[in-house]
């Protein structure tokens, strides 16, 4: 843990030198040694691309995709969004014509609770 604190206080040149010294990839130094995943509430290609832009290493998909109007097409668009998250043209192309996402609970419908 002490090395991480030291690393955080280094400037870019010092980090580069340190990376060479320990034979570590320069772009990985300073990152936490855990994988960051996003889940819950991310169901569109745009959501997935944003999570990747924010630094996630991957995204989980679930019912928001599988219960959509066209799960296969939406899933394919999400793969493209995660792979090409900084390419706006690919994101725009993949996000067109996906149909409805998962339908949520309609709050205008009265729900009977059976307790």
Model confidence over 39-93: pLDDT tens digits? 677 778 888 888 888 888 778 887 777 888 888 888 889 899 989 989 989 888 8
Any domain includes 23: yes
Distances (CA, A) of 38 to 30, 55, 114: 20, 10, 34
| Enclosing domain of residue 10 | 1-33
Domain count within the chain: 2
Which residue pairs, CB below 8 angstroms and at least 24 apart, start in 36-44? Answer: 43/68, 43/74, 43/101, 43/102, 44/78, 44/95, 44/98, 44/101
Q: The whole model's pTM is what?
A: 0.59
Q: Say yes or no: 44 and 100 in one domain.
A: yes
Q: Say yes or no: 91 and 56 in one domain.
A: yes
Q: Say yes or no: 80 and 55 in one domain.
A: yes
Distances (CA, A) of 27 to 18, 19, 30: 12, 9, 8
Specify whether the CB–CB gap between 98 and 70 falls below 8 A.
Answer: yes
pLDDT tens per residue, range 67-79: 888 888 888 898 9
Q: Say yes or no: 41 and 90 in one domain.
A: yes
- Three-state DSSP state, 9: coil
């Amino acid at each position: 843990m002490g090395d991480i604190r030291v690393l955080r206080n280094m400037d870019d040149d010092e980090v580069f030198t340190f990376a060479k010294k320990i034979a570590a990839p320069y772009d990985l130094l300073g990152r936490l040694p855990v994988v960051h995943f996003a889940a819950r509430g991310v169901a569109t290609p745009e959501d997935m691309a944003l999570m990747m832009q924010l630094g996630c290493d991957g995204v989980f998909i679930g019912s928001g995709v599988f219960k959509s109007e066209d799960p296969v097409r939406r899933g394919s668009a999400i793969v493209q969004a995660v792979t090409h998250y900084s390419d706006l043209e690919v994101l725009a192309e993949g996000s067109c014509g996906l149909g409805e996402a998962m339908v949520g609970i309609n709050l205008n419908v009265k729900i009977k609770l059976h307790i």
